[in-house]
Amino acid sequence: MARGNMLRQAANAQTTKPPDAAQIAGITVAAIGLVPLLAVVLVCLVGIIAITGTSTLATDPETGVSFGPELLGEGNGDVAGAIIGGSGKGRLAANAVPRPELVPALESAGQECDLISPIVLAAQIQVESEWDPATVGPDGEQGIAQLPPGVFDEYGEDDDDNGTKSVNDPIDAIHAQARYLCHLGTQVQQLLADHEIGGDALTMTLLAWDIGIDEVKALGTQLVPLDAYPYQVRGQFGTFSTGEDAPSPSPTSTGTTPGGGATPGGGGAPLPGNTGFNQAVFNQMFKNAIPFYTYSAMTTAMAKYPAFASGSGDVAKREIAAFLANVNHESGGLRYVEELNQSLWGDYCNRNVSYGCPAGQRAYHGRGPIQISWNMNYKAAGDSLGVDLLNRPDLVKNDASIAWGTALWFWMTQPGAGKMTPHAAITGGNGFGETIRSINGSKECNGRIPAAINSRVQAYQTFCQMLGVSPGDRLRC
């Protein structure tokens, strides 16, 4: 797909010479081609006006976008996007993907940020290359996603862990596509927040992919024509959607003790050092993880605690394996976000502390990868992360990077039932067993719940094997 400047040319059209006969004929043909699409838009708008009896119209039930003539004029709503293809959210129709072996990569990469989805990625690939990784664009775009020159160098990784990073490797390209879209999306959302441009975030992000972020900024609040690149992509959403909602996070079965330990029960920053841990390894470790728990959200949270996995060689690998093995046990293999046993939800409020439980008696139950609970822990974790978890504990179940942040906060700072933090235990040579003691030793260690210990140890040994490191000794507590 060539990167054009069609919109810029349209903006400057008033300063150019009048069109000749051939140009008029071309414009007429193009306009006629748009008639059916425009008719659909007009019918929808007229229908809403007839129903509401007003020109300020209504809210689209699928996208939540309020729209009307005044929003079309300012470019603040995405009426066309709501009509042409929908939101791009929902469940990917795997049988519609011409290369079924790429469905897992689409599912994984589609969780890179909230703006995109597997459907968005598939639709864009359909427009860009029709699933042919050998395609080379007129401006040097390459691979299945037709990444512009230099973009893959910055955003590409060896995501299938085959030893080679290549733009012609569809899995590597799909993940780079997702990272680049999310990068553009961040810039677009800032421009929207600053009122420098109009439109909706997804449409303008797709436009930035096509013509560049500077050109998008230069266009300001001009409307995006219905035949422009974003709507070519959005027009494919229906092809790759089942029409069903995407899987949503489900609740977990555990909570944490007052000391912070958990009772039995996510493109982020790269990890430091040569640990061998990446997106592909994460996916292998957690094959049944729900979309909420992304690799990107986890590594973003890790950036807040730079001492994590900062040891050399085997030390860093063992810490990653130990942390994720305990997370695996607490969250049921990253399948659950909240404590399943709701009868216990009211048990984690200590009103003896000065700040009490402002979010309610039942608000501080187990949430997240390590099942943080108790009002004291929510406050302390929130203070560390710079968010008000005492008053807004649901952020742990709604924001994946915050959820991962609470787990890392506990891992790095809380001794729990042990004499040292889990981080200090594993990096100081005290063994994996001491991390269990720090997390939930008062309930599990010394033969109290052998099955829970076995679950943690087995996961640790498996993860160590994946990272190519021996588990060491003192595995139990």
pLDDT, averaged across the chain: 78
Residue 6 near residue 30, CB atoms below 8 Å: no
Q: What percent of the chain has pLDDT over 70?
A: 75
413 and 272 assigned to the same domain: yes
181 to 33, 105, 152, 302, 393: CA distances (angstroms) = 30, 15, 12, 22, 30
Query: Which of 56-65, 110-119, 242-251 shows the highest mean pLDDT?
Result: 110-119
66 to 72, 87, 346, 440: CA distances (angstroms) = 11, 14, 39, 49
Question: How large is the average pLDDT for residues 215-231?
Answer: 86
What pLDDT is stored for residue 468 in this prediction?
94
pLDDT tens column, 197-219: 988 889 999 999 999 999 999 98
Torsion of CA 298, 304, 308, 309, to 10 degrees: 60
Interatomic CA distance for residues 51 and 23, integer angstroms? 40
130 and 161 assigned to the same domain: yes
pLDDT at 262 over 70: no
CB neighbourhood size of 212 (10 A) = 15
What pLDDT is stored for residue 308 in this prediction?
94
pLDDT at 52 over 60: no
**Range name among 124-128, 223-227, 441-445 with the lowest pLDDT average:** 223-227
171 and 225 assigned to the same domain: yes
Single-letter residue type at 434: E
188 and 298 assigned to the same domain: no
254 and 388 assigned to the same domain: yes
Residue ending a domain, among 194, 222, 240, is: 240
Work out the angle at residue 270's Cα, subtended by the Cα atoms of residues 265 and 271, and round it to the nearest 5 degrees. Answer: 65
185 and 255 assigned to the same domain: no
346 and 459 assigned to the same domain: yes
Confidence at 257, pLDDT banded by 50, 70, 90: very low
Interatomic CA distance for residues 314 and 393, integer angstroms? 36
What pLDDT is stored for residue 245 in this prediction?
63
Work out the angle at residue 130's Cα, subtended by the Cα atoms of residues 124 and 134, and round it to the nearest 5 degrees. Answer: 110
Residue 265 near residue 293, CB atoms below 8 Å: no
Tally of domains within the chain: 2
What pLDDT is stored for residue 191 in this prediction?
87
Interatomic CA distance for residues 404 and 296, integer angstroms? 10
Tell me, what CATH number does 198's domain have?
1.10.530.10
Confidence at 324, pLDDT banded by 50, 70, 90: very high
Residue 254 lies in a domain: yes
Residue 126 lies in a domain: yes
pLDDT at 97 over 60: yes
More confident: 290 or 14? 290
Confidence at 406, pLDDT banded by 50, 70, 90: very high
pLDDT at 463 over 60: yes
User: Which domain, by its residues, includes 122?
Assistant: 85-240
Question: How large is the average pLDDT for residues 292-314?
Answer: 89
DSSP type of residue 252: E
Query: Which candidate, 57, 28, 27, places its Cα nearest to that of 41?
Result: 57
Confidence at 276, pLDDT banded by 50, 70, 90: confident
What pLDDT is stored for residue 54 in this prediction?
33
| Positions marked active-site | 330
pLDDT at 35 over 90: no
pLDDT tens column, 375-399: 999 999 999 999 999 999 999 999 9
Q: Rounded to a whole number, what is the largest CA-CA distance in the chain? A: 90
Question: How large is the average pLDDT for residues 408-427?
Answer: 90
pTM: 0.49
207 and 318 assigned to the same domain: no
Question: How large is the average pLDDT for residues 462-468?
Answer: 96
Question: How large is the average pLDDT for residues 4-31?
Answer: 39
Residue ending a domain, among 182, 207, 240, is: 240
The residues with which 336 forms a beta bridge, in sequence order, are 250
pLDDT at 464 over 90: yes
Single-letter residue type at 181: L
275 and 205 assigned to the same domain: no
CB neighbourhood size of 31 (10 A) = 10
Query: Hey, what are 87's tokens?
Result: 């939101």
Residue 390 near residue 360, CB atoms below 8 Å: no
More confident: 328 or 111? 328
pLDDT at 260 over 60: no
pLDDT tens column, 361-373: 999 999 999 999 9
Interatomic CA distance for residues 91 and 193, integer angstroms? 29
**Range name among 101-110, 176-185, 339-348 with the lowest pLDDT average:** 101-110
Residue 175 lies in a domain: yes
Work out the angle at residue 95's Cα, subtended by the Cα atoms of residues 231 and 169, and round it to the nearest 5 degrees. Answer: 75
Burial level of 357, CB count in 10 A (0-12/13-18/19+)? buried
Residue 205 lies in a domain: yes
Single-letter residue type at 10: A
Single-letter residue type at 383: D
pLDDT at 474 over 50: yes
221 and 193 assigned to the same domain: yes
Residue ending a domain, among 240, 261, 283, is: 240
Query: Which candidate, 307, 254, 306, 275, places its Cα nearest to that of 456?
Result: 254
Interatomic CA distance for residues 249 and 398, integer angstroms? 9
What pLDDT is stored for residue 160 in this prediction?
75
Residue 364 near residue 355, CB atoms below 8 Å: no
230 and 256 assigned to the same domain: no
More confident: 73 or 336? 336
Confidence at 183, pLDDT banded by 50, 70, 90: confident
Residue 446 near residue 440, CB atoms below 8 Å: no
Residue 295 near residue 110, CB atoms below 8 Å: no
What pLDDT is stored for residue 461 in this prediction?
97
What pLDDT is stored for residue 207 in this prediction?
93
312 and 460 assigned to the same domain: yes
